[in-house]
Structure 1
Amino acid sequence: MTFAPSSPASPEPRCLPEAFVQMLLSRPQGRALVEALSMSEPEVSVRIAAHRGLGMPQLVDTAPWNARLAYLSGRPRFTFDPSLHQGLYYVQDASSAALPTVLRHALIQADINPDGKLRVLDACAAPGGKTTAVADALGSESTVVVANEYDRTRAGVLVENLQRWGDPRIIATCADAASFGVLHDAFDVICADVPCSGEGMMRKDRDAVAQWSPALVRDCAALQRRILLGLWDALRPGGVLIYSTCTFNTAEDEDNVRYVIDELGATPLSTGLENMPGVSPGCFDEGLMPFPCTHFYPGIARGEGLFVAALRKDGDSVPTVQDDDMRRPKSFKRKSAAKTQPVPEAVRRMVRGDMSWSTDAAGIITAAPPAVAAMAARLADAGLRVILEGVEVGTIKGRDVIPAHALAMSQVIDCDAFVKAPIDWREAVSYLQRNAPILPEDTPRGIVLLTYQGRPLGFAKNLGNRANTLLPANRRIISPHVPDAPENVLAAVGVMPAGDE
C-alpha cells in the first residue's frame, strides 16, 4: 500500500536494466518499485531552516520523519526566490531529510545527549543537505560538525551551500574520507552517506540508469568497505555511525552493515523510523539474522531511494570532549599559516559571540567559535585540507575591510554594526544578478547591508553617486530574466519569516 498521493507520471518511461529489474522483483514490494522508477517523476520538497526563527504551521504537507520538510505541489523557479539565497530553506529530497531523526534516536540509544557537546563528521558531505540537516538537529553551541568531500568541484559547491546556511559550527574539508582514520577516537558521530551505484536516483538522473551494472555494484561495495574501514578508527568507542546509501541492493546496504557489525565490532541500533508510514525494513537472505535498518522506496515512500542504518561502536564509552578541550586555543593558526595580524575592533563588532580570530596572508579575516578553531587546527595538523572554518568575516584592502558575503549569511552577524537598506523582491533579484543596487538618496556612504523581508541578503558599497555590489560572482543568478511575478516558496507552504517587512 502506498503512502501518499501518486507521484506525477513520467513523460517518457525509463527503460531499466533487466538484471536490475529482476533484483527488485525478488523483493516483496518490488513490482511497485519497478513501476515507480519506470513511470513516475520525483516529488519536490524543501527543508525549512531550524536556526532562522521560522515557524512550521500544522497545515504544511510534511513528512512523518521530519516536521520541517515541506512538500511542494510543483517545482517553482527556486533561483528567483531570495529566501533560498538567504539560507531560509534547502531544496532537499524528502527521504534524505530523515537523517536527523535517525541520528537523535541513535544517540539516545547510545546514552549520548544529542544536545551535548559533540564532535560530528559527515564523511561524504556534498552538496550539503545532510550536513545542514544534522547540524540543525544538534542543539549545543559547542558542537562541531566537520563536512568532508573528496571531489574538489563538489567540495566547492559544499562550501557555497554551507556558507549560505550560515552555521558557524561547521568546518569543511577536502580529503579522502578513509584518511580520517589518522584522527583516533576523534568523533562521537560519523555520518557516512557513501558513494554508491545510485539506484535510488534513477527517477532524477538518467545517467544512473545508463551506468548501472552488476560490476558497478561490486566496485561500489568494495569502495564503501574501504571508506568504512578508514573511518572506523576516527569514531570513539561508544560512538555512533550512521551509514546510508541511495541504492537498494544488499551488497551495498545490508551486507556492508553486517561487515561493520561482525568484522569491526558494532551493535546495531533502531533507526526510529520503523513504524512510520511509507518506510520498509531491510532485506536479508534466509538463515541470516536480521538487524534494524530502513529502506525508502520510491512509489511507497514519498521520496527517492535511501537506505539507512545506525550502529554503536563497541567498547567503553569515553566522550571526545573534556572540559579543558573547550578552552580557547592559544592562537587560531596552523603550522602552515602566516602570522596572525591584529583584527580591528570595528571588525570584531560585526560578529556576535565569543570567537577566535585569524587573518591570513591574503588579508582574509576569519572568526570561529573556540571549539571550531581547535578542531580545524587538529585537522590541518593531521594533514587534512581545511577549506572552511567558522565565518569568513571580510578582507583587508588597504585601510578598509570589505565584509564577506558569508558574513551576511551567517547566524552570528551583528546587523546593528551596519547601515541597512531594505529592498523589495524585484530589487533583490536584480542584486542577485550582480546589478548595481539603487539605494535611497539619504543612504550614508560606505558599506551597506541590504535586507529582504527583514533579513540580510548581502552587502553593497555606496559611493554617493552610485553603489557597487559586493555579491561574489560565483553567487550570482546567471539568467538575466526577471519573472513577472515573485517567487515565494515560504509563503506557498504557509511559513512567514519573523520580522517580515
Structure 2
Amino acid sequence: MSFLPPAFTGSLKGLPGYNEETFLRVHASGARITSVRLQPRKAGDAAALFPQLETERVPWSHDGYYLSSRPSFTFDPQFHAGAYYVQEASSMFLEAAVRQTVPLDTPLKALDLCAAPGGKTTLLQAVLHPDSLLVANEVIKPRAAVLADNITRWGAENVVVTNNDPRDFARLDEYFDLLNVDAPCSGSGLFRRDPEAVQEWSLDNVALCSQRQQRILADALPALKPGGTLIYSTCSYSQEEDEQIADWLVAEFGMESLPLQTQPQWGIVATQSPQHGAHGYRFYPDKVKGEGFFIACFRKPGEPGTPRAHRLKTALLAAKDAARLTPWLAEKDVFAFTDHHGEAILLTPAMAADLAFLQKHLYIRKAGVKMGQLTAKELVPDHQLALSTAVAAGLPAVELDLENALRYLRKEDIRLDEATKGWTLMRFHGMNLGWAKVLPNRVNNYYPKEMRILKASAPDA
C-alpha cells in the first residue's frame, strides 16, 4: 500500500512517462539507492575506496558510482578528506547536460545559483575547464556555510562562495557563460527517499514554487551572456515546475531549447513542453536507478559580445610574502595571493582578475583557498590548505590508522610514534585530513571545531 496521497498521484496522470502502477510499487518497496561521485583529483577507484561493497558506474557520469549498500559516511575518513561527494544519481545527469551544451576546452565563468549543499557545484568544478571561475551561491546563510565547508572538503581552488539573493546577480550584467539553476521546488521527486516530506506537498505549494522559480530565473538571467547556456532542473514531477517553466522561458525571454542525447537503456523519459516544444528530461524511480528529477537546457538569444572590462584590481601580496607561500604548494608561479583580515588567500588567475569586481557587487563567503596566517616567523596553515588539491605532496605528514584518524576527526588527543615535528599533515590512506602541530611532548590537533565528528562511535554494522 502506497503512502502517497491521491491528490498527488492524481496530479501526475497524463504526464510523459508516468506509469501509476510501477510508480506506486517502487515507492512502496522501501528500496534505497546510494550513490557517490569521486573527486577525480583525489581518488580514481571506487572499489579501492569501498572494498567491502559492490560498486557500479552511474551510466551518465564519468565519476559517479552506485554502492551496494549505504556505509556510515560520517565514520569514513575518506569522506572528510573530500575523496568523494555523496550525491543522488539522477542529479548527476547535470554532467551529461554540461558536456553536451558547454565548450569545455576553454575557461568559462559559471554561476551555480542555488548551490547548497554543494553537489552540483562540485560536479561543475570537476567537469569545467580547470582555469574557469565558478561562483556558487546560496541565499540562506546557514546553508551557505555548509556549502563553503563542502567546497573546502572538495579541495577546489577556483570557486567563490556567495550568500546573495538571486536579484543581486543582475548587477553582473552579461557576466556568466553558464548559469545553473537547480531551483527550490515542491520536492516530490525525493518522496521515496524522504517519505515524511509528503506531508508538506500540496497543489498550492506547487503553484507557489512555480512562481518562485520564475522570479529566480527572471532575476538571474540578466547575468547570463547572450549565447550563454542556462541549465534548469528540479526534483519535482509537477508540470507546473518543469515543462511549464520551460514554456515560460521560451515565451518571455526567447530562450532556445537545447536537446540532449540519452541512451534508451538509461530509462530517461524525453519530454517536450506543451506550448513551445521545449526539450526536457524526466527521471522516474521506477525507470532509472535514482530518484525523481527534471532537467532542461537553453541557449540565451544573441551573440556574445566583447567581455566588459573593469578597472577594479585585487590587491595582491608583496612578492617577498608570496615567495614564503609557494613552498607549501605543488605548483609554483601558478597562483596569486591576497590578504583578507590577516589571512593569506590563494587565488587562481581568473579570481585575481575579477575578485575585487565580485566583492563590489556580492557578499562573498569564501574565495579561493585560505592558506593561513602569515606571521613574521611562519605560516600558520589553515584547514582549507590541507584539503586543497594545490597543496604540496612533500610536506611533513603522518599516516594514521582508522582509530587514530577518527580520534583526530573528533578533535581528540592523538599520539604519534613517528619522529616528526612542527606543522604536519594528518593522512588516512594517503589522503590529507588536516593539520596537527607536533611538539616534543604533545600533539596539538588543529582540526576545525565546527567540522569535527560529534558522534562517539559508528553504529553497529
TM over 0.5: yes
Contact 1:437 1:467 in 2 (8 A): yes
| Structure 1 residue 291: Cα displacement | 2.5
Amino acid at match of 2:391: I
> Which structure ranks higher in relative contact order (CA pairs < 8 Å, sequence separation ≥ 6)?
1
| Structure 1 residue 399: Cα displacement | 4.2
| Structure 1 residue 206: Cα displacement | 3.3
Contact 1:250 1:283 in 2 (8 A): no
**What RMSD over aligned residues (CA atoms) do the two structures have, in Å?**
2.4
Alpha-carbon separation, structure 1, partners of 2:356 and 2:264: 43
| Structure 1 residue 207: Cα displacement | 4.1
Give the equivalent residue in structure 1 for 2:439: 463
* TM-score between the two structures when normalised by the length of structure 2: 0.91
Give the equivalent residue in structure 2 for 1:490: none
Q: 1:316 to 1:441 in 2, by over 3 A?
A: closer
Q: Map residues 231-270 of structure 1 onto 2, 5 A cutoff.
A: 231-270=220-259
State the Cα deviation string for residues 324-381 of structure 1 (Å, max 9, x = none): 99x9x85337xxxxx98973633332123422212222x2211111202333322211
Contact 1:16 1:209 in 2 (8 A): yes
Give the equivalent residue in structure 1 for 2:387: 409
Contact 2:38 2:64 in 1 (8 A): yes
| Structure 1 residue 463: Cα displacement | 1.6
Indicate whether 1:18 and 2:6 are aligned: yes
In the alignment, which of 478, 484, 491 is matched to residue 454 of structure 2? Answer: 478
Alpha-carbon separation, structure 1, partners of 2:306 and 2:104: 12
Question: Which stretch shows the higher mean deviation, 348-357 or 430-439?
Answer: 348-357
Amino acid at match of 1:18: P
Amino acid at match of 1:249: S
Amino acid at match of 1:186: Y
Q: Map residues 258-407 of structure 1 onto 2, 5 A cutoff.
A: 258-273=247-262, 275-282=264-271, 284-285=273-274, 288-318=275-305, 320=307, 330-332=313-315, 343=321, 345-351=323-329, 352-353=331-332, 354-361=334-341, 363-382=342-361, 384-396=362-374, 399-407=377-385
Give the equivalent residue in structure 2 for 1:157: 146
Alpha-carbon separation, structure 1, partners of 2:2 and 2:367: 43
Alpha-carbon separation, structure 1, partners of 2:100 and 2:321: 42
Contact 2:184 2:209 in 1 (8 A): yes
Alpha-carbon separation, structure 2, partners of 1:256 and 1:132: 26
Give the equivalent residue in structure 1 for 2:406: 429
Amino acid at match of 2:25: E
Q: 1:34 to 1:179 in 2, by over 3 A?
A: farther
* TM-score between the two structures when normalised by the length of structure 1: 0.84
Q: 1:484 to 1:462 in 2, by over 3 A?
A: farther
State the Cα deviation string for residues 239-293 of structure 1 (Å, max 9, x = none): 00000000011111111111111111111001333645211122654xx342321
Contact 1:437 1:460 in 2 (8 A): no
Alpha-carbon separation, structure 2, partners of 1:464 and 1:193: 51
Alpha-carbon separation, structure 1, partners of 2:246 and 2:365: 31
Alpha-carbon separation, structure 1, partners of 2:455 and 2:252: 52
Structure 2 gap segments, 5+ residues each: 48-53
Alpha-carbon separation, structure 2, partners of 1:462 and 1:190: 45
Q: 1:143 to 1:18 in 2, by over 3 A?
A: same
Amino acid at match of 1:95: S
Alpha-carbon separation, structure 2, partners of 1:484 and 1:249: 40
Amino acid at match of 1:412: A
Question: Which stretch shows the higher mean deviation, 343-352 or 245-254?
Answer: 343-352
How many aligned positions are there?
451
State the Cα deviation string for residues 372-428 of structure 1 (Å, max 9, x = none): 23333222112x101111101012467443211111110101132x32212222211
| Structure 1 residue 316: Cα displacement | 1.2
| Structure 1 residue 224: Cα displacement | 0.5
Amino acid at match of 2:338: S
In the alignment, which of 100, 105, 118 is matched to residue 115 of structure 1? Answer: 105
Amino acid at match of 2:399: P
Amino acid at match of 2:303: D
Alpha-carbon separation, structure 2, partners of 1:427 and 1:274: 46
Amino acid at match of 1:314: P
Alpha-carbon separation, structure 2, partners of 1:157 and 1:128: 8
Give the equivalent residue in structure 1 for 2:50: none
Contact 2:314 2:356 in 1 (8 A): no
Q: 1:459 to 1:14 in 2, by over 3 A?
A: farther
Alpha-carbon separation, structure 1, partners of 2:216 and 2:459: 45
In the alignment, which of 191, 201, 218 is matched to residue 207 of structure 2? Answer: 218
Contact 2:250 2:276 in 1 (8 A): no
Amino acid at match of 1:273: T
Alpha-carbon separation, structure 2, partners of 1:448 and 1:133: 30
Alpha-carbon separation, structure 2, partners of 1:120 and 1:276: 31
Task: Give 3-state SS (helix, strand or coil) of 2:147's partner.
Answer: helix
Contact 2:2 2:24 in 1 (8 A): no
In the alignment, which of 399, 402, 425 is matched to residue 449 of structure 1? Answer: 425
Q: 1:437 to 1:14 in 2, by over 3 A?
A: farther
Q: 1:484 to 1:230 in 2, by over 3 A?
A: closer
| Structure 1 residue 436: Cα displacement | 1.9
Contact 1:341 1:359 in 2 (8 A): no
Alpha-carbon separation, structure 2, partners of 1:42 and 1:178: 37
Contact 2:396 2:423 in 1 (8 A): yes
Give the equivalent residue in structure 1 for 2:30: 40
Give the equivalent residue in structure 1 for 2:95: 100
Q: Map residues 142-181 of structure 1 onto 2, 5 A cutoff.
A: 142-181=131-170
Structure 1 gap segments, 5+ residues each: 1-12, 108-112, 334-338, 486-501
State the Cα deviation string for residues 12-50 of structure 1 (Å, max 9, x = none): x65223221101233352312233234433301111112
In the alignment, which of 64, 73, 90 is matched to residue 68 of structure 2? Answer: 73
State the Cα deviation string for residues 109-158 of structure 1 (Å, max 9, x = none): xxxx21211000000000000111111111x3321111000001110110
Contact 2:258 2:279 in 1 (8 A): yes
Give the equivalent residue in structure 2 for 1:198: 187
Amino acid at match of 1:117: P
Contact 2:227 2:300 in 1 (8 A): yes
Amino acid at match of 1:263: E
Amino acid at match of 2:447: L
